[in-house]
Amino acid sequence: MIVLICAALFIFVIFAILFLVFALDILIRRHDLPTSGRATRALIKAIKQYKPDAKNFYDLGCGHGALCLAIKKALPGLEIYGADNSAIRIFFAKLKSKRINFRKQNIFDVDLSSADIVYTYLWYDLMPPLEKKLQNELKPGAIVITNTSNFPTWQPIQKIVMRETLFVYIKR
């Protein structure tokens, strides 16, 4: 009986610590914008429409990896890369799947020269420098899909409006 109580207490303490770490990450960084299920389905549809022959998908600011997992499930042939600057978020993302390449990395340090599809759901202030990075690095024909925030000078080829708005761009 004492062993069961100790085991239960141990498990409770572990989950409490994980919850506190997770909560602190959200409070300190103040950025955890999960993509909704509706937006995820629209994103998958856009990928199939605009880049059905894509080999890879990059999620810049992937958080805990939920979107990457959904994309891998819907489009298993894609090589999926998720980058986030939070070691805690990448740790939890890696726990969810070994088939996805999650990296703790600043999005501005990710090499996107071979990217077929790039997705972001980031703050507005990051969009101008990200637009410049993508303009310099992406190959022509690459697809960029942003959620809610759009680029200052690129013109989207499509806006998918729901509660969130997806902006679809093709690199020229």
The parent domain of residue 138 ranges over 37-170
pLDDT of residue 15: 60
Same domain membership, residue 161 and residue 84:
yes
pLDDT lower than 70: segments of the chain: 8, 12-32
Per-residue pLDDT tens over the stretch 80-89: 999 999 998 8
SS3 of residue 105 by DSSP: coil
Taking the model in full, what pTM does it have?
A: 0.83
pLDDT of residue 4: 73
Please name which of 127, 122, 90, 124 lies closest in space to residue 105, comparing C-alpha atoms. 90
Same domain membership, residue 62 and residue 3:
no
Residue 142 identity (one-letter amino acid): A
Question: How many structural domains comprise the chain?
Answer: 2
Residue 169 identity (one-letter amino acid): Y
Please name which of 21, 108, 20 lies closest in space to residue 61, comparing C-alpha atoms. 108
Query: What is the rounded CA–CA span in Å between residue 10 and residue 104?
Result: 29
On whether the CB atoms of residues 72 and 99 are closer than 8 A, the answer is yes
Same domain membership, residue 93 and residue 26:
no
Same domain membership, residue 83 and residue 60:
yes
Query: What is the rounded CA–CA span in Å between residue 28 and residue 105?
Result: 18
Same domain membership, residue 121 and residue 97:
yes
CATH number for the domain harbouring residue 84: 3.40.50.150
**Number of other residues whose CB lies within 10 A of the CB of residue 6:** 10
pLDDT of residue 88: 87
Same domain membership, residue 96 and residue 12:
no
Per-residue pLDDT tens over the stretch 114-144: 999 999 999 899 999 999 999 999 999 999 9
On whether the CB atoms of residues 151 and 127 are closer than 8 A, the answer is yes
Residue with tokens 């890369």: 81
Phi first, then psi, for residue 75 (nearest 5°) are -130, 70
